[in-house]
Amino acid sequence: MPLVFESRTLPNGLRVLTARQAEAQSTAVMVMLAAGSRYETAEAGGIAHFAEHIFFKGTERRPTARDLSFEVDSMGGEFNAFTGKEYTGYYIKCAREHASQALDVVSDMVLHSRFDADEIEREKGVIVEEMNMYRDTPTQYLPGVYDSLLYGDTPLGRDIIGTKETVRAATRQTFMDYLERSYAPSRMVVGLGGAVDDGLVAAVDATFGQVPDRPTSGYEPFADAGPTGPQVRIHHKESDQLHIRIGGGGLPIAHPDRYVASLLSTILGGGMSSRLFSEVRERRGLAYYVYASHSQYLDAGSLHTQAGVDVARVDEAVSTIVAELRRIAAEPVPAAELAKAKSYMKGRLVLGLEDPRSIIAFGLRSIVLEGEVREVPEVLAGIDAVTAEQIQRLAAELFATDRLRLAAIGPFDDEARFMQALAA
């Protein structure tokens, strides 16, 4: 695993990030952009995710989706994309001998996709069925319910996938307007990971480096209203299980206490020896899955827990989770538990960076969202520097009663019932 990334900026503003691994037998080619659902207008909600689909439908040189997929399959490559609220990525991972071809395919897609009107119309049905799938899968739909409660009617509070109305209303011009605002070289970073030679790096200059830059649009800043009292939102769905997400505030991605927040979520719900797993699942048998996570954006964040519990025991489940949030705010984390959490975080980081695709994605996400690469040793040192006092202080701030939020999906409508549990 390389501990040093090579970064440079081309004259048109496009950045190139390289993570070379001398012994690697594969290469990852990835393009990541500071472009996601947060950069959309409300009327074009979901267009960032929709565009990701259409980029796979053909270019002038490779006119159909089958032409693209056939070529990547012929390399034995992995071919995919992802859309978040603040970034979008496209990548191919392949054997090192196909690296130049992989770069040619990715650059052709990102720079020369046709956005055929007929393909757009056909894909609308696919997106709508994807929405239906998410709505029928509480573990996937619940984060959107929670975000709408936390961030309200803002780009951060709206679903990445959009609504059926905005998707059905999209035209080719909707896509062209979005791409004009967002897909400019100064918003892109091209990443090369694994087996990378100088010829591959030069090929980036010959393709992406020739695209003229242009002005782009920014995002709507999130204005946090601060403590407003506990809040609850329930999405009614007949089920034998209630899926709940409980949390407070969070920290932006570049906040000085970001490693404190990461360790706080790890102690609460990272791994099978975490507090929530031990208390909620192992000791009380209240849930099959339970975890904690810290979601971070450029100017906002959320540290939350999530679990799926028996509808007959929801009151005990909620009170147990809230009690654990309050306990970590009231009592310093014992030294042995803190050391274990640090080792867990560092181990998971190292395991997650074992292949070229994950390494380059780590570096790209850092440079797209923070403007610079966070080297792995810096992250490990940041984790090691966290103290028990810092964790207790941050927990008391984030989990104060007037900051608590609860979102749920299940066969309930009585929000007051859950409000009492948060305020108790």
The one-digit pLDDT tens for each residue of the chain (424 residues) are 445 799 999 999 999 999 999 889 999 999 999 999 999 999 999 999 999 999 999 999 999 999 999 999 999 999 999 999 999 999 999 999 999 999 999 999 999 999 999 999 999 999 999 999 999 999 999 999 999 999 999 999 999 999 999 999 999 999 999 999 999 999 999 999 999 999 999 999 999 999 999 999 889 899 887 778 899 999 999 999 999 999 988 999 999 999 999 999 999 999 999 999 999 999 999 999 999 999 999 999 999 999 999 999 999 999 999 999 999 999 999 999 999 999 999 999 999 888 999 999 999 999 999 999 988 999 999 999 999 999 999 999 999 999 999 999 999 999 998 998 888 7
The answer to the question of residue 354 being in a domain is: yes
Report yes or no on 216 lying in a domain: no
Domain assignment present for 281: yes
Has residue 217 been placed in a domain?
no
In the beta sheet, which residues pair with residue 16?
8, 190
Query: Domain containing 95 — which CATH number?
Result: 3.30.830.10
- Which residues are marked as active site? 52
The number of beta carbons lying within 10 Å of the beta carbon of residue 129 is 10
The number of distinct structural domains making up the chain is: 2
Task: Give the pair of three-digit tokens for residue 4.
Answer: 């040093």
Range of the domain at 21: 6-210
Q: Report the predicted TM-score, pTM, of the whole model to 2 decimal places.
A: 0.93
Is there a domain that residue 197 lies in? Answer: yes
Tokens standing for residue 45: 């909600």
Does 195 share its domain with 305?
no
Q: Is residue 262, in this structure, part of any structural domain at all? A: yes
Q: Is residue 226 part of a domain?
A: no
3-state secondary structure 340-394: HHHHHHHHHHHHCCCCHHHHHHHHHHHHHHHCCCCCHHHHHHHHHCCCHHHHHHH
Evaluate whether residue 225 is within a structural domain: no
